[in-house]
Amino acid sequence: MHWPLAAAEPRECYAAGVDDWDKGLQIGAVFIILAVSLVGVLLPILCKHTKWLSISPRVINTGKFFGAGVILATAFIHMLGESMETLKDECLDAHMGDFDSWPGALAMMAVLAMHLLEHILSARFAKKKTEDIDSMLYDSESEKDTGHTHGPVLGHTKKLSTYILELGIALHSVIIGMTLAVTGSGFRVLLAAIACHQFFEGVALGTRIAELEFPANGLLLRVANALMFAVTTPVGQVIGICIRQSFAPRDPSSLMVMGVLDSLSAGILIYSAVVGLLVEEFGAAEFHASPRWLRVLYFAAMYLGCATMSLIGKWA
């Protein structure tokens, strides 16, 4: 059955195809984004596990806080801003009703859902640890020797917040990968902007992954987590390349899906950036024990990350 076009949906809303599309550049861009993402996310991990790559932890941490600013600005400027523009497109006028605040509402739902999920999982873990309290008390002497008395609970909390952050990044990375793959004119500028974004986002996530507690040295598990981040944008690019001929960017269905995913991604990233990065990292005892000039540097790095990503929002 073919539905007639609504009055608010001009025929150009269903126009498919991409002008000025270069197959060679698009395929090359898949490998460029993959390489940049890998370098960003693996750099902190390799610094932790190898002796030949010796970079000062302060340099890595500065990159982490810059990346935290990048993630926060990505949520507000790119994801939430893009969803507002998408869900208010005239091609969706006949589908969205009279409620104009869907982007903010969906982002808020995502924030609340992530908060509830983290609470439920943390409560389950805490309950399990409570059941094992006797054995933990009996082993307290060995814990004192190893310095891990509070490690399980704190390590679990950080691991959970890191995985939530990775979920939000994965969702929006697929979206920006598809966007890049169906871009014709302006492709080179968008590629440069996304490459910069992927590198610093990778540094922020890679530093978090490097700090997680895993069995033994955990190198393989950390690399596996890093690879999950590195491949998401290229996966989105491959999907975009495959559907480019039939893709109608202003089709109501496309706009609805992209707008909703952008809003949900924004909510997840806002929660992860504020709770998992700003509150956790700036509230850590190690941060407060740092020299004042170093704390000022970290704050400046985060603000610069926000400003840089906001500026990149002009092109990406």
At residue 293, the pLDDT reads 95
Measured CA to CA, the distance from residue 135 to residue 144 in angstroms comes to 14
Backbone angles phi, psi at 15, to 5 degrees: -65, 130
What would the pLDDT profile of 24-65 be if each residue is shown by its tens digit?
888 999 999 999 999 999 998 888 777 777 778 888 889 889
Give the alpha-carbon dihedral of 52, 57, 58, 63, to 10 degrees. 80
Residues 234 and 177: beta-carbon distance below 8 Å: yes
Q: Structural domain of residue 166, as residue ranges?
A: 20-128+154-312
> How many domains are there within the chain?
1
Identify whether 307 is part of a domain: yes
User: What sections of 182-218 are H helices per DSSP?
Assistant: 187-211
Residue 135 lies in a domain: no
Domain contains 184: yes
Q: What pLDDT is attached to residue 316?
A: 62
Query: What global pTM score does this model have?
Result: 0.80
Nearest to 75 by CA among 266, 304, 204: 266
* Residue 12, domain member (yes or no): no
- Give domain status of residue 11, yes or no: no
Domain presence at residue 136: no
- Please, what is the average pLDDT of the chain? 81
Q: Is the pLDDT of residue 83 over 80?
A: yes
Residue 133 lies in a domain: no
Local confidence band at 183 (pLDDT 50, 70, 90 cut-offs): confident
12-27 pLDDT tens trace = 676 666 666 778 888 9
> 164 pLDDT exceeds 80?
yes
Any idea of the CA torsion for 276, 279, 285, 291, to the nearest 10 degrees? 110
Number of C-alpha atoms within 13 angstroms, CB side, residue 107? Answer: 25
Quick check: is 208 in a domain?
Answer: yes
Whether 301 and 69 have beta carbons less than 8 Å apart is answered as yes
* Cβ 238 vs Cβ 178: under 8 Å: no
pLDDT exceeds 60 at position 115: yes
Question: What band does 81 get if pLDDT is binned at 50, 70 and 90?
Answer: confident
